[in-house]
Amino acid sequence: MYQWQMTALNEPFQRVESALPDISPDEALVKIAGCGVCHTDISFWHSGVKTKHELPLTLGHEISGTVLEGPARLKGKNVIIPAVLPCGECDLCRQGRSNICQKQLMPGNDFHGGFASHIKVPHRYLCEVPDAVLQKYPLEQLSVIADAISTPYQVMKKSELEAGDLAIVIGVGGVGLYGALLAKIMGAKVLAIDVSDEKLRQVEAHGIDATLNSKGMDIRAVKNRVREIAKDLGAPKYGWKIFEISGTSAGQELAFNLITYASTFSVVGFTMDKLEVRLSNLMAFDAKLIGTWGCKPELYPEVVGLVANGKLPVGDFVETFPLNSINEVFKNTLAHKYSKRSVLVPD
């Protein structure tokens, strides 16, 4: 097998070859079909966010592949590897909060990840991909289910989004794009806000109800325009479901200021920046502020089901590259040269 490993901050990935690893009874050996490039990977490689495993480390946590070795029920099966692998036994897991299991393992963070030809992983939560899905999409494209699609799916459910609600999605590149599509699938009236016309055109082309480019607008102007859009859509004045997915301080500030009566503000994107906000707004509007971390593996079959029945397109938003172009792809991703999710495919 081979892996492309991060050896130091901002340094080129290095190809390393080794024998196939032995596996324990709790593990499976998976031949990787594809691994998506996520903002988290860029944060590890470029921004200095620390990995739990010491360098050198093989990054990558959006992984699909075929089980070569493991339990009989999985051998030969095509699978998605959840980006968060919980223990399944602790109090949080038993309470249905397995996504924040304190013993969780993350490929490309706790152990060698998916920018490789093979990976060994705990097999408990591997999500099988039905043949019906593979008739629609190649397995490598489905790797994005492991994070870019499953993460917004969990937060949509957690927000208690209902048909007819106004869903405001701030930041519609990558995870946010899928978030907007999922909100629409769930019956919401969806407003996408971004500073990129290209990203907004992309979601418009897939049936999103309204878009707003907030570039150069102050918060008051955005709020007024959102109220107008909500009225035009026939959406409720209150109870807005607001999803901040840009991972920017400007996006978070805007999202907080859009809170109105009975709103739910979901923080999905991540930034190290701090904000100064008036938390009493939550009290005054009887609103909710929630966070979300990844997606619990128990929800993955539901996401695969949306892809299987044709409700959620995948191929339109994915671009594949050979794994040996990893250094070029990371540089181009950092420079925002791609409009689609990059998936690296072993040579």
The position carrying tokens 């325009």 is: 225
Q: What is the pLDDT along the chain (347 residues), one digit of tens a residue?
A: 999 999 999 999 999 999 999 999 999 999 999 999 998 999 999 999 999 999 999 999 999 999 999 999 999 999 999 999 999 999 999 999 999 999 999 999 999 999 999 999 999 999 999 999 999 999 999 999 999 999 999 999 999 999 999 999 999 988 999 999 999 999 999 999 999 999 999 999 999 999 999 999 999 999 999 999 999 999 999 999 999 999 999 999 999 999 999 999 999 998 889 999 999 999 999 999 999 999 999 999 999 999 998 888 898 899 999 999 999 999 999 998 998 899 999 98
Task: Give one DSSP letter per residue of 103-140, joined into a string.
Answer: T-B-BTTTB--SSBSEEEEE-TTPEE--HHHHTTS-TT
| Cβ atoms 237, 162 nearer than 8 A | no
CA-to-CA separations, 93 to 13, 101, 104, in angstroms, rounded: 35, 6, 10
Structural domains in the chain plus CATH codes: 2-147+295-345 (3.90.180.10), 150-291 (3.40.50.720)
User: What pLDDT shows up at residue 229?
Assistant: 98
Tell me the whole-structure pTM to 2 decimals. 0.93
Provide CB contacts within 8 A for 324, sequence distance 6+: 4, 15, 347
